[in-house]
Amino acid sequence: MKIDLSGHVAVVTGGSGDLGRVMCRTLAACGAAVAVHYHSRAAQAEEVVAGIRAAGGTAMSCGGDVADEAAVQHWAAAIRAELGEPSIVIANAVQQYQPWTSVLEQPLADYDGQYRACVRQVVLLAKTFAPAMQARKHGRIIGISTECAAQCHPGQSAYVAGKRGMDGVLRVLARELGPSGITVNQVAPGWMLSDRNRSDPPATGYIAGVPLRRRGEDTDIANAVAFLASDLAGYITGAWLPVCGGHVTVGI
């Protein structure tokens, strides 16, 4: 048994980022043609595209603001022209902000930014790509959440608010799009290792709270995404899947 995404077109927003680039490579290795989206890191996106092509895959880069309707329509048209109509859409793009502080101290602009990056992103992606999925009676929409959405620790409010807002939209979409054969799920990473931080000193405090007693790898997230994008997960929808070594668990 293997994951075969041949014949599918996948879009990964934030595809030039730490987790996104590995998702792109993994989906391409499974046979999908991949649109590597970026916001400002065009060179990094092109590097991912070049690597996929060198391995025999099909890929392109596309850039723009995931929260701007006109920008999304522009790069969506470019994807359709070069690769075809996407059947797999990964909402992975994030907006970073500093500092993380208390609700009373967090600037309102940070909440607005997280709303744009999380809620507006998934709404615009659904409006842009779901109608064609409905016509084909098949599609996969996957949002990248975070273990923070279950933790709700002090200082996380803006980030958690954005991801929980995204969670609400995606859960509703799962019900609305399910009759058309479209699944809508989420993957919630823990504090993962990637190219950016793989050589950092061990985070012993964090690891002590993880039942598997280690930090996860970027490939762990990419593998979960590939599974949910495949026919192997055809009867899974509305799920929030933590990939964090048991650091958070989801109740029923």
By annotation, the residues acting in catalysis are: 159
Locate 108 and state its tokens: 């309102």
Q: Are strands 88-91 and 139-144 parallel, antiparallel or unpaired?
A: parallel
Helix or strand or coil: residue 58? coil
How far, CA to CA in Å, does 181 sit from each of 175, 176, 215? 11, 10, 35
Catalogue the long-range contacts made by 41-45 (C-beta closer than 8 Å, 24 or more residues apart): 41/16, 41/17, 42/16, 44/16, 44/17, 45/15, 45/16
Helix or strand or coil: residue 95? coil
Locate 227 and state its tokens: 């599974």
Q: For the residues of 173-209, what is the DSSP string, one character each? A: HHHHHGGGTEEEEEEEE-S-B-TTTTTSPP-HHHHHT
Say if CB 122 and CB 128 are below 8 A apart: no
Say if CB 141 and CB 131 are below 8 A apart: no
CA distance 209 to 152: 16
